[in-house]
């Protein structure tokens, strides 16, 4: 039996939130040149092509391109990635005046000139420095990101160079970690692999650093080559209803169910109830349901049944 028009209409609606494998710290080719990173690529075009191909091979659907206080250098990679079907957050990596590194991400449709102006707001106007420091300290920068409507992630948070939990000390560190506008941080692996003295903070079990909402822990390490995208710490799965800053924010607020690290177990395949259309009155009704498994295509089926109640129809749809 063919799928009725009403069911087709229901199936055409957005499926709601799902997991996207996301790499949120991809560097453009200019970053490699500026920091003298070893690379086998002769030019930007070849680098961009290889990065995009590696994303497709690894099942990475979402990236953020985040050069240090620069966005013009990211333009060609962002454009090429979008043309290839990837979702791209434009942004930059910031270094606060107290030395902490942050990824600052904007909605995918944000004009890059707007991002450029935000970099200027940070007091950075000179491209001659490879990795300049901005004028804001951590708390000030988090507040600016809030005003901009940007997502802010404490990059490599436990690293000696630039990690918020390493470069800040005392009450400055406590205040920054408990700041309500800090919602996410990144590690190269699970919290269990972080330095022992920082684990209780990351687990939200240290009373001095305790937060109402635990900070979401992501895997989003530096990407400077296609091989980096194959490393477990380079990406993670983020559940979003749409790829947007609001989608990220909702995931960061509910990391237990919306963030999956490379070290986390892969969910088992399961049947999912997708749609039900009721046609006819209580005595001559047809029930059309659509079900799918996590790894298969949707299928539809229909069955006529006299005096079928709506309650039974729902039960039937859940046990087709």
Q: Pick from 64, 63, 135: which is nearest to 94 by CA?
A: 135
CB 54 within 8 A of CB 226: yes
pLDDT in tens, 208-250: 999 999 999 999 999 999 999 999 999 999 999 999 999 999 9
Is residue 82 pLDDT above 50, yes or no?
Answer: yes
Paired tokens of 245: 């800053």
Q: Which two tokens stand for residue 260?
A: 């999956």
> Is the per-residue pLDDT at 49 higher than 50?
yes
Structural domains of the chain in order of their starting residue, each with its CATH number? 18-260 (3.20.20.140), 268-318 (no CATH)
The span from the CA of 200 to the CA of 8, in Å, is 50
| Phi (first) and psi of residue 64, to 5 degrees | -125, 135
- Whole-number mean pLDDT of the chain? 87
DSSP strand pairing (299-306 vs 284-293):
antiparallel
- pLDDT tier, 162 (very low <50, low <70, confident <90, very high otherwise): very high
Alpha carbon distance 245, 148 (integer Å): 11
314 pLDDT higher than 70: no
């Amino acid at each position: 039996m063919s799928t009725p028009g009403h069911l087709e209409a229901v199936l055409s609606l957005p499926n709601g939130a799902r997991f996207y494998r996301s790499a949120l710290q991809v560097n453009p080719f200019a970053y490699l040149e500026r920091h003298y990173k070893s690379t086998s690529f002769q030019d930007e075009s070849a680098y961009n092509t290889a990065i995009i191909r590696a994303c497709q091979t690894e099942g990475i659907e979402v990236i953020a391109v985040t050069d240090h206080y620069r966005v013009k250098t990211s333009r060609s990679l962002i454009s090429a990635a979008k043309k290839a079907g990837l979702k791209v957050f434009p942004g930059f990596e910031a270094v606060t005046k107290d030395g902490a590194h942050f990824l600052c991400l904007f909605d995918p449709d944000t004009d890059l000139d707007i991002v450029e102006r935000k970099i200027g707001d940070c007091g950075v106007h000179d491209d001659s420095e490879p990795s300049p420091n901005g004028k804001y300290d951590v708390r000030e920068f988090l507040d600016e990101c809030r005003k901009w409507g940007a997502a802010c992630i404490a990059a490599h948070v436990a690293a000696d160079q630039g990690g918020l939990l390493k470069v800040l000390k005392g009450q400055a560190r406590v205040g920054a970690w408990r700041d309500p506008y800090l919602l996410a941080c990144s590690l190269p692996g699970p919290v269990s692999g972080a330095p022992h003295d920082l684990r209780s903070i990351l687990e939200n079990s240290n009373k001095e650093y305790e937060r109402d909402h635990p900070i979401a822990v992501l895997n989003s390490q530096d990407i400077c080559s296609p091989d980096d995208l194959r490393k477990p710490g380079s990406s993670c799965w983020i559940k979003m209803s749409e790829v947007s800053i609001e989608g990220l924010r909702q995931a960061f607020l509910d990391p237990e169910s919306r963030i999956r690290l490379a070290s986390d177990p892969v969910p088992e395949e399961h049947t999912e109830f997708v749609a039900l259309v009721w046609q006819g009155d209580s005595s001559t009704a047809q029930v059309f349901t659509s079900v799918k498994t996590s790894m298969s295509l949707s299928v539809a089926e229909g069955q006529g049944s006299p005096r079928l109640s709506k309650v039974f129809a729902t039960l039937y749809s859940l046990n087709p």
